[in-house]
Amino acid sequence: MSKCSTVAIASFITLIGMGAVGARADDSDRFARLDANRDGALTLAELEAHALANFAKADLNRDGKLTSDERAAELEVRNKEGFVDRDLNHDGVLERSEDVQMPRTVFYQIDADRSGGLNPNEMKAFAKARQAEKTAAEDTNGDGAISQGEALAKVRARFQKLDENRDRHVDVMEFHSSATH
């Protein structure tokens, strides 16, 4: 499974730093960022703490809920940073050859004007649409926003999937295995 497909599976994980379109750290870097105590294993507490910190950062109006607009704004910031890094010829357009890690199908979904390159407006529109879909899917109480409880429930479910041997720790092999399935 590609990195972008992993993003689709772990939809809330864009907020806890395990990846997103535009966030191009490899799996080892992601694992290291999440492993707060550097013991080589991820615990649920580490993932929850990371999720809550990122939740607070994305909660622009500080109401304890994330709307799709707030989520899109957070992703836009990360996309801008990644866009500058990936736009190798600095022409303001991300050509397919400049981002070979992005799956071709995703690249062409984002390329709304079919120019063969991605501009910041296309990236922003795609992020906004994706975050609206994700928010709707994760909004279990139907209030149009993601609460901290809903966010943590998603993290807990993801942790259960990652912890293949059920030892309450996700080691680097389980983490990498998840990224390739």
Half-sphere exposure of 57 (CA within 13 A, CB side): 16
pTM: 0.69
Q: Which two tokens stand for residue 148?
A: 């901290």
One-letter amino acid identity for 26?
A: D
- pLDDT in single tens digits along all 181 residues of the chain: 344 333 333 333 333 333 333 333 467 788 999 999 999 999 999 999 999 999 999 999 999 999 999 988 888 887 777 788 888 999 999 998 888 778 888 899 999 999 999 998 998 898 889 889 999 999 999 999 999 999 999 999 999 999 999 999 999 999 988 755 5
CB 116 within 8 A of CB 96: yes
Between CA 155 and CA 44 the distance in angstroms is 8
The Cβ of residue 33 has, within 10 Å, a number of other Cβ atoms equal to 13
Q: Which two tokens stand for residue 107?
A: 């690249």
